[in-house]
Chains A and B, each alone.
Chain A
Amino acid sequence: NAGVTQTPKFRVLKTGQSMTLLCAQDMNHEYMYWYRQDPGMGLRLIHYSVGEGTTAKGEVPDGYNVSRLKKQNFLLGLESAAPSQTSVYFCASSYSQGDREEDEQYFGPGTRLTVT
């Protein structure tokens, strides 16, 4: 049981390049999330998904796209990377979204992205 995994762990991009971050979970969770973490800003929600084939915008969605073609995977895409997207990206998943025991969000180890 690997929990939540993220690929890659590190990446350096040049401005204008594109890339896709992959998040995978093996807990059969319905909900998945992408956050970015910047110094002094906490975690901010980029996009999330409440189930296979559905996505929704979070607090800071601009410049990112997501897809949830399979229940266990949640992809985050940057079509044209900008230096402002330099950040640490965390994926999380949960069975549902609420205040029950099974609603806890489990986090991946993060992807450190630098855009030059």
Chain B
Amino acid sequence: AQSVTQLDSHVSVSEGTPVLLRCNYSSSYSPSLFWYVQHPNKGLQLLLKYTSAATLVKGINGFEAEFKKSETSFHLTKPSAHMSDAAEYFCVVSSSGNTPLVFGKGTRLSVIA
């Protein structure tokens, strides 16, 4: 069985400060891990994904995430928050090529001017 836990339901940062959204996963097999972003009243967009290549994954809009097997973590970071980063972020896991994605419950990121 696979699962994902997003450790914070809401994170608030000031514009220009770093962003850290935390995600831990559980998987019986080598997982594929994703971060999706959802802006208000919009669908979901893929930010980045880890698929057993480099452990540090770079995504769109300056986001990156590091896969740490020993900690079963896949935290999302960005050096400097922008107002347009305010959105809901979902950490997602898939254990193998034939299993559907499992979504975390989401972290709402607020960016304060």
Q: Is the CB of A99 within 8 A of B103?
A: no
**Which of B51, B97, B98, B103 contacts A44, CB < 8 Å?**
B103
Q: Is the CB of B51 within 8 A of A43?
A: no
**CB of A74 within 8 A of chain B?**
no
Number of interface residues of B (CB under 8 A): 23
A4 / chain B contacts, CB cutoff of 8 Å? 43
Report, as a range, how many residues of chain A touch the other chain.
Answer: 20 to 34
Q: Is the CB of A99 within 8 A of B51?
A: yes
Q: Is the CB of A109 within 8 A of B46?
A: no
* A48: nearest chain-B partner, CB-CB: B100
**CB of A7 within 8 A of chain B?**
no
Q: Is the CB of B97 within 8 A of A98?
A: yes
**CB of A51 within 8 A of chain B?**
no
Q: Is the CB of A99 within 8 A of B105?
A: no
A109 / chain B contacts, CB cutoff of 8 Å? 42-43
If A40-B9, A43-B103 touch, whether A99 touches B32 (CB-CB below 8 Å) is yes
**CB of B11 within 8 A of chain A?**
no
A42 to B45, CA, bound (A): 14
Q: Is the CB of B51 within 8 A of A97?
A: no
6 A–B pairs (Cβ distance < 8 Å), ordered by A: A40-B106, A43-B90, A98-B32, A99-B32, A99-B52, A99-B97
Ranked nearest first, the 8 interchain pairs of A and B with the lowest CB-CB distance are A98-B97, A99-B51, A107-B43, A99-B32, A42-B103, A42-B105, A43-B103, A107-B44
Seen from chain A, the residues whose Cβ lies within 8 Å of a Cβ on chain B are 4, 33, 35, 40-45, 48, 58, 90, 92, 96-100, 103-105, 107-110
